[in-house]
Amino acid sequence: MKCLNIGCGSNFHASWTNLDISSVYPGVQTYDIRKGLPFADLSFDVCYSSHLIEHLTQDDAKKLLAECQRVLKPKGIIRIVVPDLQEIAKNYLEALEQVQSGVVEAEPNYDWMMLELLDQSVRSYSGGKMGEYLVNPGIKNKEFVRSRIGLEFEHYWQTNKTVEPRKSILEKIQSKSFNWYADKTRITLAKLLVTLVAGQEISHAFTEGIFRQKSGQIHQWMYDHFSLRRILEEAGFIEVKACQADQSRIEDFNRYNLDMLDGKVRKPDSLFMEGIKP
């Protein structure tokens, strides 16, 4: 099989073709997938993407899925993984009901679910409030947070307690880390000019705008079972179905350690969905 991993970050397998917008890994090609996929028609048996399309606008997500349709062979499989808006909303409502009923112990869970709902859409600096929450050594609901983000949380706490907190958040929590600092000199000069011409308030807005457009941390949209199935079907895929992390129509998928690692789900907060090219 020829398999393509789109927007892989640090989660890839050497036997696959792996793409990311910015990578330090020899086995990953650097490419901006918003420009289309740099492959011929009917090139792959599998297209896989995890925690990427929520960082794209709806139009760009549709274009990407159309490109996946183009490069897949007939009967090829697409597997898309996204944060599960339905489960996020369900957990938020459960926590809200508890705190409104006076269950003080539920407040940390409520706070975390508010972050899952909003932080990656509204944040204006690296790591956001989610990063600050995880850096706090006094987290009262570690097990709940671990149940939400799985191995990302475990790896963070096992290996990154003493290193720069914000950097570890970006590496371990963000699924796609676009290197918006690569052109730092030009951005710094532009910010200086904006400050001189328009003042500090506009300069702050300029900096926030650059962050939101270039950092790759911002969720441009979210998906539930219905909307993800619909966008895949609109792209021409058939037999679109949600599945569990350890289930796939891709042959021997679990051996690639993309959604499962050592029998554990890498991102438990996810919705996993597959479709087939006719």
88-117: average pLDDT: 97
Q: Which residue has the higher pLDDT, 7 or 217?
A: 7
The CATH architecture that domain 3-84+223-276 belongs to is 3-Layer(aba) Sandwich (3.40)
Taking the C-alpha atoms of residue 249 and residue 199, their distance in angstroms, rounded to an integer, is 56
Task: Output the CA torsion 70→72→77→78 (10° steps).
Answer: -50
201-210: average pLDDT: 74
- Nearest CA to 126 among 15, 63, 211? 211
- Which residues are within 8 A (CB) of 54 and not within 5 positions of it... i.e. 6 or more apart? 82, 83, 219, 220, 221, 222, 223
pTM for the model: 0.85
Taking the C-alpha atoms of residue 210 and residue 132, their distance in angstroms, rounded to an integer, is 21
- pLDDT tens digits, one per residue of 144-195: 999 999 887 766 565 455 434 333 333 333 434 444 444 566 767 777 777 8
Cβ count within 10 A of residue 186: 9
Query: What is the reported pLDDT for 199?
Result: 84
Residue 188 amino acid letter: T
CA distances from 157 to 83, 154, 162, 168, 176 (A): 21, 5, 9, 10, 20
pLDDT band at 212 (very low <50, low <70, confident <90, very high): confident
Taking the C-alpha atoms of residue 196 and residue 203, their distance in angstroms, rounded to an integer, is 9
Least confident of 45-49, 152-156, 220-224: 152-156
- pLDDT tens digits, one per residue of 244-272: 999 999 999 999 999 999 899 999 999 99
Least confident of 8-17, 52-61, 135-144, 192-201: 192-201
What 20-26 contacts at long range (C-beta under 8 Å, 24+ apart), as own/partner pairs, is: 20/176, 21/176, 21/178, 21/179, 21/216, 22/177, 22/178, 22/179, 22/182
Query: What is the reported pLDDT for 183?
Result: 59
Query: What is the reported pLDDT for 184?
Result: 63
Query: What is the reported pLDDT for 116?
Result: 96
For the chain, what's the residue count? 278
Q: What is the residue-averaged pLDDT of the chain?
A: 87
